[in-house]
Amino acid sequence: MDKVMITKLRNLCLTSYWWPRQSTRVDRKRTTTAKQREELDLQVAKFFFYCNIAFDIVESKYFIKLPPNRKRLTNQLLDKVNEEVIQAIKNDLTDSCLTLVQDGWTNVSNDPMIAHCLHNGHQSFLISSVHSESEDKKKAKYCTELAIEAITFIKKYL
């Protein structure tokens, strides 16, 4: 976390044992605006999502007094960050020549997997990853059907 984020979290902390006091002066309560709270909640949410941290951590007695709560994290904030990511992907893909890449492999359990990525010459974006249980998993017709599904998804959402 950067210093600005640590400072913002420190200012929002509700209990004094989280951060040791630097001096003996009386700490004044600081209030935050709704916009500041939204910004801080989004930063915490992004930390959880990008670091793949389980949502139940927000129920810990050491975290519970910090914003946001589990319900807000898993609903509004997840939706908002998801929209931001989709918009960023759309912006990266605008006015680009795109290539859809399909690849198949077996995982450590020897289960067949097929994935689709969209590449714009600079970056790749994972579109889908399918656990292939079909008997036709390595046949051209099945792979074509999955590619068409990926193209349909791209047209609909991107």
> Quick one: average pLDDT of 96-104?
91
Cβ proximity of 41 and 77 under 8 Å = yes
* Count of other CB atoms within 10 angstroms of residue 90: 11
Q: Kindly list the domain boundaries of the chain, sorted by start residue.
A: 3-90, 96-157
pTM flag (> 0.85): no
Query: So what's the pLDDT on residue 148?
Result: 96
Cis amide prior to 68 (ω within 30 degrees): yes
Residue 115's pLDDT band, with cuts at 50, 70 and 90, is very high
pLDDT in tens, 8-66: 545 444 333 333 444 444 456 678 888 988 888 889 889 888 888 888 888 888 787 77
Distances (CA, A) of 85 to 23, 75, 82, 90, 119: 42, 16, 5, 9, 16
Q: How far apart are CA 109 and CA 105, in angstroms?
A: 11
Cβ proximity of 40 and 67 under 8 Å = yes
Q: Which residues contact 155 (CB under 8 A, 6 or more apart)?
A: none
User: What DSSP line would sit under 16-71, residue for residue?
Assistant: GGGS--SSSSPPPP----HHHHHHHHHHHHHHHHHTT--GGGGGSTTTTTSSPPHH
Residue with tokens 């998804």: 153
